[in-house]
Structure 1
């Protein structure tokens, strides 16, 4: 074959060009200098000095000096936490001294508090904040996961590894024997049922109100803490379109150690031998197991879905001008379970849409001093979640429980001949799509089943949830710094589940004897509808007396009503074993074979509130806050429908004192002492719990033999209790906040005492009330919890989880119940 001379020349010349280009681009020279504070002239330690567009960089030393080798014409970027970044184009071989300016945004960092915002430097209560920048580093699938490891004093636990399962959030421990969930506020609207429906990409900030002083403005619902969620809005400027995507894989982090077939046979023989019984496995059986001639099933390997995918997609568009801003987003989340996800029996999908808009109707601030500005806005979101799951948190009858209990000597599938024989005897034996028959579990294994068969059996429930949350608001400037705001919020939730159970066979055990009977086949459905409306009106007045006395006054009113209806039904003896036709009407209505049944109910509750707050600070040195809220709820007895919940807090910015600031080193930037006391309430009890109820079904027969007649009767279901009271939570908190290195490193330490009293717990008196299930009176309990909370985040470090951000040390606490 003739070689092409041009190609050979090219191969010879190309390395010369390569090495020459490396020589040209490899020419660098040193640039050095000093980085200082523009205001004080003090050197800055640890400033990032990097060549733009490359990974070439260094840090300033203890004297603020740096030295870096850069290419000709390169741009150097100087960044430091708490300071405005600076970019400078320079030539190699020169000395470049830089003075960075302290970021005004850092100086005036704002956090959200109840019904307003405050500068972080003057906050006197215990509040933690997670910003959107922290959320973006974590890329969480759920907003509750944002709080894991980011905020001290907050414990987030997931009920199970099931996709879509609810998380439990506890602020400063469990505060009640009843519902200990915190109060969730989304853009001013209090919501029920948690916040798993929210798309984390839509969140601007999350504030956690931990002590009574910060949460007292929410009164009757704040005993377990408050979580304020603020969603993103638009900003003035050109439209900004953003697409975010994450795709990951999930795997079980650990497997339970179990026996192989040889070990199982050996220990089984020892068990029977110790009981003076005949051996169940012969030496040949054990030898065959050792040689791999008998089944050696690792059931955990069979059920685990390796590399289960989880993905999240988000598209948003935002923008606006001086008169209007907008933010619109669409999100999709999909998670496959590590058990059953590959069989479509443990999956969760969420679709969400959000629209946040703000409009300035008119602005006459330059024309008059009263009624000169009006703004309106809306924050509306819709989400739909769909899930299906396997049994969790149990050993018996669950996939994982069976996978860790079944013997390894049992195979997953039967042979073709064995399968045909089993189908002739049990036509409803569980099979795969391609016809493989799952091995039934031994009859002496009770509820333990072939875990793969558990996932494939025709017994499934499909859950769904639709949720609309929104707030429409208007803000009118009456006089300078006197603002009236009115809002209407709603929380509409529709949730339920649909399922079916067709005949199937998995075991001869009596616990599954009814599974293959057509008369026991069943279809069920349940639907819930919850609706909440909320109307709030607030009046806020900010003013100063002189240059150093600042006041913020808040007065408000709130009204809220929640209603819920639910309906459930089921039917037996399904006419067609087709999932597409799994509706209750596809069952026989023969009452002798179960027929069809339905039941339903409704409930409602109302809350009315009035609240006020005074904030005062003197030159950002001494701060004082006092809050009071009065709540009225129809859940309590006629003698205690209203409750009053006060709080107050104080603070002292120590380093704002001139005589102290002058003697502190430049790396020690802030120190704030604060203390608070307050009372919160808890109304998480059943509606109408104070009322007397009567139970039916207390039937009695009069007469003898065939002449006896049944008479319908009733009995007291619950005795009235007009003195039913609010549960109360009293908290005392003493804390200190430190800031170092321009607040790049902060330390927060809190000591708190949290006392709950009047837990509402029903006591059963079957002899008195004539019914074993009747609750006759309420007993009250209390709890005392003491704790120390410490938090040491550093903004230029990496946590153990690998993301850059705040590393949190959790709180330590202890408590007792009496």
Structure 2
């Protein structure tokens, strides 16, 4: 009995200990704070759960949590965009948890137009740029973000002026007579440009193949650029301030003859002599004009950004403002931009949300345009002004154009853009997986411009003024029904959209000349002796219906099909509708069972797609027969009569340009996402080209449009992204390299072999570009320079028999060179060490040519440029070199010498490699400053360029026939800029 009693006692004691131990474990309370490992800011809404159990909680607005858990158990901390963290619990009940951003998860969801999809499920060619890739760089416009960062996207500056034109091409030039610009879509609303503060951008996606772009139908032929702006974040108020100050200068100037050298050359070639005291003054520099120093200056930029965001789980907001002031490198040129954005997200009920986006902006450009080629050719020995009248003199020796300095300081102009963009989106959660989005937008812009011409600008100049105004209204309504469902291993997303959009434009212009006085500049119409005016109105609309199905089986077999129908007011009844289908398939081999035992390859996806997209970038009334009014003098009287002549012939059969696209792609990701590789092959066949043809004079003249011709773009693209080093406390390195090869070729030109481009009558010569079957768009049409003859005259090749001549004819013109590059590259590197970050960004273009008309003008004594100003054209001419084999320029004395601007002597290889950005930043965390996270930065843009091109900048160009580039007529170069910045995050 005693033994039994002892046994029962021990058993009860053991059970009591077990129960009390278990009770103690269940009752243990743990609390703590979750913070971001980089910013040390609290992370709100983190899921805190007990591993292998259902209990859990979330962090509050301060990142704090409290949970009951047994000692020895494990807590899981998980949140979208962060690496899930496991913490084993001990006796310490006060926890401090830090979470690291998961770069792979952050890039998973990609916007694809009318929806979003996980990156792993994409079947088309989509390039994505996140804000992280440019947040530490002083970008001032969205196009700067795209340049060099996305394979297949070529970004070229037409000029480097503040607010200047930038050309974006996605997979080449497809159209000859219509726009080649991509479609821009900002937060789901189609836009005519990229009027967005870069600091407001969350991500940019570029849709490149038909599988991705066919959803936009007749507007998708040139690619689609989707911009998604940031939203407010739930939690405490976040405030940021950003200040960047930059100084800019010309990276490269021409080596011109100084006043003494110019005077010496004038005497040598033209027999013009200067007095001895003048020559001495030119020699010692006390007299003479350095035109480059006079017209160019150090540019200054001031970029201020301020933003505030926050909110609750149901109501979030983001408000941001940006003010940019820029003084250009050319005298009197200024540019200003001010923007205000308000983004609101409201959960009205459990089944209804409202998203509101408002963006207001104002830009102002003062004296925006400049003719650099003109001042490069002006004489350094001339007198600037008439001392009696104050009129700016013309060049007595060289250029016959007006005084470039007088044109800048006596004349002036201002242009403005006032824009208000509004966007509201109501989203209804109808049932599980089924949503309806009703989105409406209205974008209004007012574009006034004013110019004044002074009688002092040059001799004989008649004073004048011009006031012009353009008002545009664009509206869009998009109704999107999307159904997401999963059943077993199958996932389906179906989208149906009805969309309507339209645009109206009004313009008004008033001009006056021979002003009674010039004191009030362009506000002077009443005092003009002669006045004229004109106005106009246009309206267009498009209605669309579209559908898309995305199917996914086990994440390894994917299928996407889209169909869109567009009805456009631009085409007449029988061709009003266009239909644009596409299909794409993908197979992720890495998800197959035979790959399950390896852990190196996470993705090995093969893709293929085909589709048709369109282009309807013609005028609102292009297909209608139209008469153009004109005024003419009455016979035998002073009366003015109005008459009409044929402007446009009616073309009811004209329809959409259609681009048939084929794409094959490969996506790989290895080593847990630390190394990824994408390769693409594509072909774009654009058929039924919209060509404008002249009508014969016997039919009344004018022009008409036809659907004839074909252009092909084909190529390959490669993108490699890697994170070789991941520990930023030791050393971190992220790198991304992209490369694109593009071949452009004209297949057909309405039965013709070629179409000759426009003449550059301002410099003489004939047509310099040609559209020719078998050659790329932007090919040059030039005389083939052979060498110099024994007297130093230029020799050109006769194409008929190969003989040489100093006087070639039209039959001797040949097609050669190309304006667009074959290869483009971009290489972005980010190095981190503790609180330091270094970024190096390089882009390159290979295989492009430029016709350097500026060098022709400075190096020739021909046409309107009557004398030379380029130093090499004098010292390396046939006349000056001892060894004639070393001559670079022809003799300026030989009367048989002929310099032609349309000669391949002036055609140069303009391939280049540019260090686009190098920036160094240092982050001071809030835990040190006690006030805010502070980031200090210093950076340089366009620090150096490697190129054989002798012009100022191989990247820029002067727009030619229908916007094709390749001709340098003194384009404003992209400046070298040094920027100093400071960012504060409160």
TM-score bucket of the superposed structures, by smaller chain:
0.7 to 0.9
Q: Is contact 2:377–2:399 with CA below 8 Å preserved after alignment?
A: no
Rounded Cα–Cα distance in structure 2 between residues aligned with 1:699 and 1:302:
44
Distance 1:796 1:149, change over 3 A: farther
Query: Which residues of 2 match residues 90-169 of structure 1 at below 5 A?
Result: 103=102, 106=105, 109-169=108-168
Query: Which residues of 2 match residues 165-184 of structure 1 at below 5 A?
Result: 165-177=164-176, 178-184=178-184
Equivalence for 2:557: 622
Counterpart secondary structure, 1:639: helix
Shift of residue 797 of structure 1? Answer: 8.4
Counterpart secondary structure, 1:794: strand
Shift of residue 403 of structure 1? Answer: 3.3
Rounded Cα–Cα distance in structure 2 between residues aligned with 1:107 and 1:140:
22
Equivalence for 2:355: 377
The structure 2 residue matched to 1:409, chosen from 381, 384, 391, is: 381
Equivalence for 1:465: 417
**1:526 pairs with 2:468:** yes
Distance 1:441 1:537, change over 3 A: same
Shift of residue 237 of structure 1? Answer: 0.4
Rounded Cα–Cα distance in structure 2 between residues aligned with 1:388 and 1:214:
40
The structure 1 residue matched to 2:568, chosen from 623, 633, 654, is: 633
Equivalence for 1:79: none
Query: Which residues of 2 match residues 317-336 of structure 1 at below 5 A?
Result: 317-336=308-327
Query: Deviations 1:657-678 (Å, cap 9, x if unpaired)?
Result: 1312424x63x43221111111
Distance 1:660 1:718, change over 3 A: same
Equivalence for 1:556: 497
Rounded Cα–Cα distance in structure 2 between residues aligned with 1:711 and 1:259:
53
CA RMSD of aligned residues (A): 3.2
The structure 2 residue matched to 1:735, chosen from 665, 669, 672, is: 665
The structure 1 residue matched to 2:273, chosen from 272, 280, 290, is: 280
Q: Is contact 2:379–2:398 with CA below 8 Å preserved after alignment?
A: no
Equivalence for 1:662: 597
Q: Is contact 1:149–1:807 with CA below 8 Å preserved after alignment?
A: no
Counterpart secondary structure, 1:121: helix
Equivalence for 1:587: 527
**1:690 pairs with 2:688:** no
Q: Is contact 1:488–1:534 with CA below 8 Å preserved after alignment?
A: yes
Rounded Cα–Cα distance in structure 1 between residues aligned with 2:114 and 2:472:
25
Rounded Cα–Cα distance in structure 1 between residues aligned with 2:412 and 2:188:
38
**1:536 pairs with 2:534:** no
Query: Deviations 1:258-299 (Å, cap 9, x if unpaired)?
Result: 123443344434434xxxxx4636898767755x16635432
Rounded Cα–Cα distance in structure 1 between residues aligned with 2:224 and 2:604:
26
The structure 1 residue matched to 2:206, chosen from 205, 208, 217, is: 208
Equivalence for 1:310: 301
Query: Deviations 1:44-92 (Å, cap 9, x if unpaired)?
Result: xxxxx99x9xxxxxxxxxxxxxxxxxxxxxxxxxxxxx9839999xxxx
Distance 1:661 1:309, change over 3 A: farther
**1:491 pairs with 2:443:** yes
Counterpart secondary structure, 2:739: coil
Counterpart secondary structure, 2:134: helix
Equivalence for 2:257: 259
Q: Is contact 1:137–1:804 with CA below 8 Å preserved after alignment?
A: no
Counterpart secondary structure, 2:218: helix
Shift of residue 406 of structure 1? Answer: 2.5
Query: Which residues of 2 match residues 734-773 of structure 1 at below 5 A?
Result: 734-771=664-701
Bigger shift: residues 221-230 or 133-142? 133-142
Rounded Cα–Cα distance in structure 2 between residues aligned with 1:789 and 1:105:
22
Rounded Cα–Cα distance in structure 2 between residues aligned with 1:677 and 1:346:
48
Distance 1:442 1:786, change over 3 A: closer
Equivalence for 1:578: 519
The structure 2 residue matched to 1:361, chosen from 340, 348, 373, is: 348
Rounded Cα–Cα distance in structure 1 between residues aligned with 2:144 and 2:542:
31
Rounded Cα–Cα distance in structure 1 between residues aligned with 2:98 and 2:672:
15
Shift of residue 473 of structure 1? Answer: 1.0
Counterpart secondary structure, 2:689: strand
Equivalence for 1:816: 745
Query: Deviations 1:625-671 (Å, cap 9, x if unpaired)?
Result: 000000000101211100110001111111111312424x63x4322
Equivalence for 1:445: 398
Bigger shift: residues 777-786 or 220-229? 777-786
Q: Is contact 2:173–2:744 with CA below 8 Å preserved after alignment?
A: no
**What TM-score does the superposition give when structure 1 sets the normalisation length?**
0.75
Shift of residue 758 of structure 1? Answer: 1.3
Counterpart secondary structure, 1:443: coil
**1:429 pairs with 2:429:** no
Shift of residue 494 of structure 1? Answer: 0.9
Shift of residue 503 of structure 1? Answer: 2.1
Rounded Cα–Cα distance in structure 2 between residues aligned with 1:534 and 1:639:
25
The structure 1 residue matched to 2:533, chosen from 598, 617, 620, is: 598
Shift of residue 100 of structure 1? Answer: 10
Count of residues paired in the alignment:
657
Query: Deviations 1:428-463 (Å, cap 9, x if unpaired)?
Result: 435xxxxxxxxx343343444554333211x11100
Query: Which residues of 2 match residues 790-801 of structure 1 at below 5 A?
Result: 790-795=718-723
Query: Deviations 1:156-192 (Å, cap 9, x if unpaired)?
Result: 1122121111211110111211100100101111012
Q: Is contact 1:243–1:315 with CA below 8 Å preserved after alignment?
A: yes
Distance 1:709 1:284, change over 3 A: closer
Q: Is contact 2:484–2:492 with CA below 8 Å preserved after alignment?
A: yes
Shift of residue 133 of structure 1? Answer: 1.1
Shift of residue 202 of structure 1? Answer: 0.7
Q: Is contact 1:469–1:491 with CA below 8 Å preserved after alignment?
A: yes
**What TM-score does the superposition give when structure 2 sets the normalisation length?**
0.63
Distance 1:472 1:709, change over 3 A: closer
Q: Is contact 1:700–1:713 with CA below 8 Å preserved after alignment?
A: no
Shift of residue 688 of structure 1? Answer: 2.0
Equivalence for 1:650: 585
Query: Deviations 1:17-41 (Å, cap 9, x if unpaired)?
Result: xxxxxxxxxxxxxxxxxxxxxxxxx
Rounded Cα–Cα distance in structure 1 between residues aligned with 2:235 and 2:161:
42
Query: Deviations 1:296-345 (Å, cap 9, x if unpaired)?
Result: 54321222212x111211111111111111111111111111111xxxx2
Shift of residue 537 of structure 1? Answer: 0.6
Q: Is contact 2:654–2:705 with CA below 8 Å preserved after alignment?
A: no
Counterpart secondary structure, 2:713: strand
Q: Is contact 1:405–1:448 with CA below 8 Å preserved after alignment?
A: no
Distance 1:565 1:145, change over 3 A: same
Equivalence for 1:349: 336
Q: Is contact 1:762–1:779 with CA below 8 Å preserved after alignment?
A: no
Bigger shift: residues 446-455 or 776-785? 446-455
